[in-house]
Structure 1
Amino acid sequence: MNKLMKRGLILLVTVVAAIGLTACKQEDKHLQKIRIAEVTRSVFYAPQYVAIEKGFFKEEGLDIELTTVPGGDKTMTALISNGADIALVGAETSIYVNSQGTEDAIINFAQLTQTDGTFLVSREPIDNFTWDMLNGSTFLGQRKGGMPQMVGEFVLKKHHIDPKNDLELIQNIDFANISSSFASGTGDFVQLFEPTASIFEKEGKGHIVASFGKESGHVPYTVFMTKESYLKENKETVEKFTRALYKAQQWVYEHSSEEVAKVIQPFFEDTELDILTSSIERYKEQKSFAENPLLDKEEWNHLQDIMEEAGELPERLDHSNYVNTEIAEKITNE
């Protein structure tokens, strides 16, 4: 190949690349941006990351801007103050906000997780664990008023353990510091999400002995929600969002845990693939990932029962007023 032909080829490749880049930019311009505020970055939210990485949102003409806003109160503040269009957070936060009589109600429209996502981790290995072993122990729980703590107390009471009197309950440690506190020697038992629970087990810092998700039953643990005004003005957009999510929910259960782990690994660069895989497998095995976006009345009422049992329910709110099932029903019936 002579120099002239080489130069021509290089020029052709450059032009094609430029055209491709321009086309991509033009395509992105036609996508509608949706700002999502997630309460934490968690393997528990795997279907959301699958929807992003597999391009399901883009297929619906949506450009997702995902921001992690630690803490349910901060996530809801972002939503209420127009810092986000959609929030991914525990459904209990919508109850706290709506019970205060907000003029622009918070509407839950698509469920992401349908069980608690925490596991009971013991400091020492236990071959034949029974819940009564927690009597007299020091239990490192979660933040008061949050779903992990309320579900934790619900499960303890289910097994005839009074969390206030039968053990030493520690719940004044920030969510981000719970795992490090246990690792440094605080508590006999701790309530942890994946992949931290599996990492602790692999490193010999703790041992998974039980699942709060299996014990508590179905509950709308993490839900996509938005303001009523946004839903009214952007109903078609929310439908597209829910359709993309449903595709991802189906994809997660149709593929192996390792395949799911490989897809979402860009969101968890510091977590080894085998840990991601085992974490996803645990959640799939107990059906923690919702199989569809529908938040039904039974789950909503069970959530309020758990909140009431914990003494954290401001008032009972009617499912029909604060949960939109029309969109999820339409999508799943297509």
Structure 2
Amino acid sequence: MRKMIKPALLLLVAVLLAMTAACGKSSKSDKLTTVKFSEVIRSIFYAPHYVAMSQGFFKEQGLNVDMNTAQGSDKGAAALIAGTADISMVGPETAIYIYNQKGGKTLKVFHQLTAVDGSFLLSREQIDNFQWKDLEGKTVIGWRPGSSPQMVLNSTLTQEQVAGAKVVTNIASTAMAGAFTSGQGDYIQVFEPVASTLVQEGKAYYAASLGEAFGPYPETSYVATSDYIKAHPDIITKFTAAVTEGAKWLGTASDEQIVAALKPFFDGTSDELILQSVNRYKAQGTWPTDPELTQAQFDVLQNVLVENGVLKAEDKIAKMEDVVDMSFVQKLGKAK
């Protein structure tokens, strides 16, 4: 009798041990590191990030991204300084502003997400063959002073020698479309999918792309405090890899896959408008295949800041490395 029971007990113990080991392995692999993340606004302009979330690229790297929307680069930078965000998606100029304040903390750009401005100029009345001179004597609902879209528009007006255009900069980003549809302004500067939505609803007409008009400009970056980057290089490495994978995926995915990936982040936006927005951004080279902020791009950025009066020429950052750390992007490129 004892000989019959013993094999059965051994089998039971073996099964229990295997189950315990499997559970332990699953628990370990499912353990994710939470990253407090702040995005500047919600826009398809940042599609690679949403793709990295919906397609599980962050989770594959062992990260759980806890995302909130700051509604402004200034607020995203403030969240980093206050410690309520670990990583922010903001304009790289915020790192320059904080550095020049000579405070206790500095910010560093570690990944360049976009290569041009992502806003579009819409008109109230349909204009055939729009010219920038058409803005003379007109009112444009624009972005807050010192923000990237506001500075790019202002620099474009200077570049195109447009005089007499009135740009309204005191309307909150979330209220701009409503202000325009209620009758304010002759033109409005908005991102996707708001631009395509207004056009589809017959409330505005497409006039121009600021990205195409102004040219290369490092508008949106991933930024963290120098202290966070130094303390968590593994997280920065994994975060960079996930977002880069998101950008690559957008270049090869089908229309149906792209819509499905972005839909959860743009509730109420039709499949048609999501795809149209993505294709419009693709056409103007929004998402670089190499997410490295170069010295040339950094020089363009600082020149725009000086031109717009938010940075004194003598306060330009002499060494880009003081506010930029591209080592994670560079290592990722070498690992390919």
Equivalents in 1 of 2:254, 2:117: separation in Å? 22
Which residue does the alignment assign to 2:224? 226
Which residue does the alignment assign to 2:190? 192
SS at match of 1:113: coil
Contact 2:120/2:208 (CA < 8 Å) preserved in 1? yes
Which structure has the bigger radius of gyration?
Answer: 2
- Runs of 4+ in structure 1 over 6 Å off: 19-24
Which residue does the alignment assign to 1:64? 65
Contact 2:71/2:173 (CA < 8 Å) preserved in 1? no
Equivalents in 1 of 2:179, 2:54: separation in Å? 34
Which residue does the alignment assign to 1:182? 180
Which residue does the alignment assign to 2:305? 307
Q: Verify: 1:316 aligned to 2:305, yes or no.
A: no
Contact 1:121/1:209 (CA < 8 Å) preserved in 2? yes
Counterpart of 2:29, as a letter, is E
Which residue does the alignment assign to 1:333? 334
Which residue does the alignment assign to 1:154? 155
Q: CA deviation at 1:146?
A: 0.7
Q: Verify: 1:102 aligned to 2:100, yes or no.
A: no
Contact 2:114/2:219 (CA < 8 Å) preserved in 1? yes
Q: Percent of aligned pairs with the same residue?
A: 37
Change (3 A) 1:25 1:276: farther
Equivalents in 2 of 1:146, 1:90: separation in Å? 8
Equivalents in 2 of 1:21, 1:90: separation in Å? 44
Equivalents in 1 of 2:140, 2:79: separation in Å? 32
Q: CA deviation at 1:257?
A: 4.8
Q: CA deviation at 1:329?
A: 1.0
Which residue does the alignment assign to 1:121? 122
Which residue does the alignment assign to 2:171? 173
Contact 1:200/1:206 (CA < 8 Å) preserved in 2? yes
Which residue does the alignment assign to 1:266? 264
Deviations 1:232-252 (A, max 9, x none): 111122111111111111111
Structure 1 range deviating more: 190-199 or 248-257? 248-257
SS at match of 1:251: helix
Which residue does the alignment assign to 1:42? 43
Counterpart of 2:243, as a letter, is L
Equivalenced residue count is: 312
Equivalents in 1 of 2:137, 2:23: separation in Å? 64
1:76-95 correspondence runs (5 A):
76-95=77-96
Deviations 1:218-237 (A, max 9, x none): 22211101111111111122
Equivalents in 2 of 1:99, 1:232: separation in Å? 20
Equivalents in 2 of 1:182, 1:21: separation in Å? 56
Counterpart of 1:44, as a letter, is F
Q: Verify: 1:201 aligned to 2:202, yes or no.
A: no
Counterpart of 1:84, as a letter, is A
CA RMSD of aligned residues (A): 1.9
Counterpart of 1:133, as a letter, is D
Contact 1:143/1:149 (CA < 8 Å) preserved in 2? yes
Equivalents in 1 of 2:283, 2:253: separation in Å? 13
Q: CA deviation at 1:54?
A: 1.0
Counterpart of 1:308, as a letter, is V
Q: CA deviation at 1:191?
A: 0.7
Deviations 1:149-200 (A, max 9, x none): 10000111111113xxx12222221111111111111111111111111011
Change (3 A) 1:215 1:24: farther
Q: CA deviation at 1:64?
A: 1.4
Contact 1:39/1:68 (CA < 8 Å) preserved in 2? yes
Counterpart of 1:28, as a letter, is D
Q: CA deviation at 1:258?
A: 4.7
| Structure 2 residue ranges without an equivalent (≥5) | 1-20
Equivalents in 2 of 1:290, 1:270: separation in Å? 28
Counterpart of 1:177, as a letter, is A
Q: Verify: 1:27 aligned to 2:29, yes or no.
A: yes
Which residue does the alignment assign to 2:52? 51
Counterpart of 1:103, as a letter, is G
| Structure 1 residue ranges without an equivalent (≥5) | 1-18
Contact 1:111/1:293 (CA < 8 Å) preserved in 2? yes
Structure 1 range deviating more: 247-256 or 184-193? 247-256
Contact 2:112/2:221 (CA < 8 Å) preserved in 1? yes
Contact 2:229/2:236 (CA < 8 Å) preserved in 1? yes
| TM, length-normalised to structure 2 | 0.88
Q: CA deviation at 1:91?
A: 1.0
Counterpart of 1:39, as a letter, is V
Equivalents in 2 of 1:86, 1:169: separation in Å? 31
SS at match of 1:261: helix
Q: Verify: 1:245 aligned to 2:243, yes or no.
A: yes
